[in-house]
Structure 1
Amino acid sequence: MLLPGQQLSEQQRRLIKLYSSLGEQDKISLLAFAEFLVQRAEPVSTTDEPPPVLDPKPIPRPEEESVVGAIKRLSESYHMLERSALLTETSSLMTAHVMHGRSAAEVIDDLEALFKRHHQEFISKQREP
């Protein structure tokens, strides 16, 4: 939060400049992705008990869905997964879509496979003695 009289850092000025140069849809995508990053930074429970094995909550894929919408949907479906474990691959897929023009449908297919694979790994770890 910026206080009155407080100067913006170089990174903050750069982010504002980049944000300002985007179109409306890209601004919405950037904000949604930033929200995803903030959510993954939420503190993780430090209890000694292993988390219970949980099944994903199926949320149907809409016919028309943005990559950011898919990330939100899959994060909700696979709520038991640690977001930080998904960050690198999710970011790479988002970058492939936004910066390299990869189609949303292809990226969403890969995101679904990514979340499913991480869930299978999660289940395997839960079953280890």
Structure 2
Amino acid sequence: MNKISLRIILVSFFLLLFGGSFFAVLAAEEDKRIAKIRAEREQFLASAKETADARTAYLEGLTQSREAARQEMQKAKGQYETLLKNQPALVKQNEKTTTTTVKQLVPVASSSNVASSQTTKSVVSKPKATTKSKAS
């Protein structure tokens, strides 16, 4: 019985030793897998945060450019309305009156042709020459 009990003890010791090492390796591999998943999750969250920050910055820039364009449009509209109000005065200021005499033959029922003279008055308005371009 001594021999059999010794063999049983040795077999159970080696089974326990191999089983324990097997479960230790499994636990270490599980820890590695969990650490890898955590690292991937952190990397994903960091890239998602970067993407969200970039999107926010883009939308803020877009809002600022829209606001700047809106202000420029309001400024241009004000200039246009001012020029539109002042247009009649500017036209009057640049008006010149010219008199032209046109001589033409007018047919008359008599036997001779009679020359008549006709005077026409016309108003010409010319804009002043400026050095500004349309873009400025």
TM-score, length basis structure 2: 0.20
Q: Judging by fraction of residues, say which structure has more helix.
A: 2
TM-score (norm 1): 0.21
Higher relative contact order (CA 8 A, sep 6+): 1
Higher-strand-fraction structure: 2
